[in-house]
Structure 1
Amino acid sequence: MQGIGWASLKKNPALLPLYFCVGCGALGATFYIIRLATRNPDVTWNRTSNPEPWQEYRNKQYKFYSPIRDYSKTESPAPKYE
């Protein structure tokens, strides 16, 4: 298949931006999936050491972007289980 090997890429350099964009997209998707697996309060990796992981995020920001800077002054959307 043309465009896959290094020799054919030298003959057709117009494919380089395509490979760059696809590579950046794959890298961004991989980063976001890893971030969701490690930072999201819905994911629990070790249930024995922290049986209630949602309590850990009561006053923390876990969204990717939020205009609120200080979460300690706002009311937490997490429910209070007692």
Structure 2
Amino acid sequence: MSSPAMKLFLKRWYGPEVIPIVGIMVMAVGGASWYLTRLARHPEVVWDRKNNPYPWLDIKPDENAKLHAVSHQFARSWTRDKF
């Protein structure tokens, strides 16, 4: 037993022209959340400020913490162990 108001609501909001809009919105929200999590995992972001007030002291002399090193030869790359 559907009322005329329910039929009008379903006709307006669940038509075939709504599917692309929903798809674009899902992709936009998913892409934005993926990008924000990607930014939050960069080595420049410090999450444990209270536990480690000087995070740059954790990098050893032979670790590479740069995104692009042209002429430097480092033995190993810096990794984030705490997150």
Higher relative helix content: 1
The structure, 1 or 2, with the larger RCO (C-alpha pairs under 8 Å, 6+ apart) is: 2
> TM-score with structure 2 length normalisation?
0.48
